[in-house]
């Protein structure tokens, strides 16, 4: 923790959420699930402000957002940034990656 105890992972996550929100707002085409992505980003932002979501909540939010706008290539960079920020929080208990 730095800067008065603020976890830098939380700051990075907040920045990633903001960037994706901005990119989604600027994306001109109509998207069928835009509202679902916006709602999930707002919920994720609220969880961050409330003290930080759990790993499970983060992964659930990421899946919801990817399901809504993951096929939009113009958003791939900010989506990757969000995924990378979430991965910094580690894997939830009992989670095993299949390789």
**Residue written as tokens 């923790």?**
1
pLDDT digits (tens, 9 = 90+) for 39-91: 999 999 999 999 868 899 999 999 999 999 999 999 999 999 999 999 998 86
pTM of this structure: 0.84
Higher pLDDT, 51 or 31: 31
pLDDT value of position 53: 81
- 54 backbone φψ class: left, alpha, beta (φ>0; ψ -120 to 50): beta
Q: Is the pLDDT of residue 26 over 60?
A: yes
User: Do residues 70 and 79 touch, judged by C-beta distance below 8 A?
Assistant: yes
pLDDT value of position 99: 47
């Amino acid at each position: 923790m730095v800067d008065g105890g603020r976890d830098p992972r939380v700051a990075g996550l907040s920045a990633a959420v903001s960037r994706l929100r901005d990119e989604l707002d600027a994306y001109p085409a109509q998207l069928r699930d835009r509202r679902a992505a916006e709602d999930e980003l707002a919920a994720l932002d609220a969880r961050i402000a409330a003290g930080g979501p759990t790993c499970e909540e983060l992964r659930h939010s990421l899946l919801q957002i990817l399901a809504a706008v993951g096929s939009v290539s113009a958003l791939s960079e900010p989506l990757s940034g969000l995924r990378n920020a979430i991965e910094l929080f580690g894997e939830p208990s009992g989670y095993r990656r299949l390789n």
